[in-house]
Structure 1
Amino acid sequence: MSKEIKWAVLGTGVIANEMAAGLQKMGKSLYAVGNRTYDKAVAFAEKYGIEKVYPSIDEMFADEDVDIIYITTPHNTHYGFMKKALENGKHILVEKSITLNSSELCEMISLANERGLILAEAMTIWHMPIYKELWKIIENGELGKVQMITVNFGSFKDYDMKNRFFNRKLAGGAMLDIGVYALSIVRSFMEEKPENLMSQWKSAPTGVDEQATILLQNDKNQMATVALTMHSKQPKRVMISCEKGYIEIMEFPRADKAIITEALTGEKREISAGNTADALYYELTDMETAITSGDASVMKLQYSIDVMDIMTRLRNEWGLKYPEEE
């Protein structure tokens, strides 16, 4: 694509604001914004100097000048918006969780492939420079084989069953909101997708998952443990245990540093790369690179597929379905 890539954003929340700032860091501006509430879209456009505001969301999909749409709305709305965007020839970057389940994702990937479009999940982990450095360290065998991964992610959310975190009608719950990060980091350091899964979970009064513990193992005998909760604070922490040492990462969804400890000597060294504040900048830059080069591997869609398969399997085992799935 030789002309300048024009971005539109669907939604005006926190992520949309970070996305607009990320484009500004790239020396660009958002071309257009759409939102269910028109007045919020107008205010958002004024804040960021956006050229076009759509009175209705459907006008965004039909606008021939739009190249990419960043979908930042609640994840139970993603499928419908993704389908409209792809049918109208738009590349799409979609907030996590990219869909509700594997069936939705498979259908959207088929549609994107049919139309020659790039579809990707806006998962910060795929794009942070620190992980690109750490994956190289693992791949070159410096620390030996990854044996065990442990992940904690806990958020303290007010026990209000009307908010989106516990709202079944908005696809609330720990798995799709924070579990997707934990499982994504696990998948990115495993050689193969884990197929052997065990779990326990606790339901909130609304029926969504309030907390869960998950055990995972792949055919390479790499294992992982994941602990999630929506009503008890935990550090966002991951430890990757290898044969010759271990890697510790705090605030892992947007990390910019890691500590590597040598197994034999106990010697520690810090690896730094990138900047936490620039997470959306890295994400958007990689998406543009994928479109201009025609090589979408940097967007790690296969990892998103694997993670969605795991989340779908677990929720099926729990009997947890959302209204759109019934």
Structure 2
Amino acid sequence: MIHNADLRSLNTLRLPGVADAFASFASVSELLTLLDDAERLGLGIKVLGGGSNVLLAGDIHALVIQSAMTRVQVLSQTDAVVRVAVDAGKVWHDWVVESIACGHGLENLALIPGSVGAAPVQNIGAYGVEVAQCLESVVGLQLSTRQLRVLSAGECGFGYRDSVFKRELSRDFVILRVVFRLQRVFQPELSYGPLRQWADNMKAESSDVTPAALIREVCAIRSSKLPSPAEIPNAGSFFKNPVVPTHMGQALKARYPALPVYPQADGSFKLAAGWLIEQAGWKGKWLGNAGMHTEQALVLVTNGQASYGDVTALKDAVIRDVAERFAVVLEPEPQPF
């Protein structure tokens, strides 16, 4: 256990903050010992994943814990499906790359920053795929009861960038392991325009769309749009793509024909937040030590010297200007920590 631990390097926006204590755990028994230690010290518990979806709001008066468990275990397989348990501390992208040796379905989620344990919290998604589609269950420890729980995919309450772990179980659950249900037969999801064009080009060149090739292309697309947190502090896509009622989506599309809209099953429309932010004049614009990226207006970046206040001021300004122009209220993806 490290006391007075500096957390700047443990969040991808590089926001400053010191925790009363920090510790990683490599087993359930180590986790339980840490919970006992925290109780003895009078400290609460906060769980940190890869730090790519949090807003560090200053000093943390708690014991911050992080999983160092990284085992991958094939549980069972049939001709159609492979079930694989992956520990929460595994780096998400590393697992996606390794997953194709077991089965398929996660390829479009390559290069998303963070850990396996954090993926269900946000129900991460990209290019037509959400992690919920390939998830069977989540295993974890409920802090209030000290009991292990297994939540089925249905019990996780998945929604668009949402889950029970952000609501009812927020701050009361430590994800230890995620069980994935992968398909044995590779059926690539190519509904996203650039991926569909790439696949068409591959076929024209008599080349196969393989799982490894799809991962490489997803990485190339993401790298062209999103800066690496190792090079420019950021938390990836900062705002959710807003979902609006049918009449509002139709009216906005009629008024702004270039606005990308995505019809949903219930008749509502999902709008491209990046386009709204760019049209509101924030692409490449800075406010103090934080700004919206020059290549992708959806990505909030910092110069490495930003505070929580800097990020909040920019976030509020973007939300205000988009709401004033389009009557659409943006919602941030990263959560205050």
TM-score where L is the length of structure 1? 0.28
TM-score w.r.t. structure 2 length?
0.27
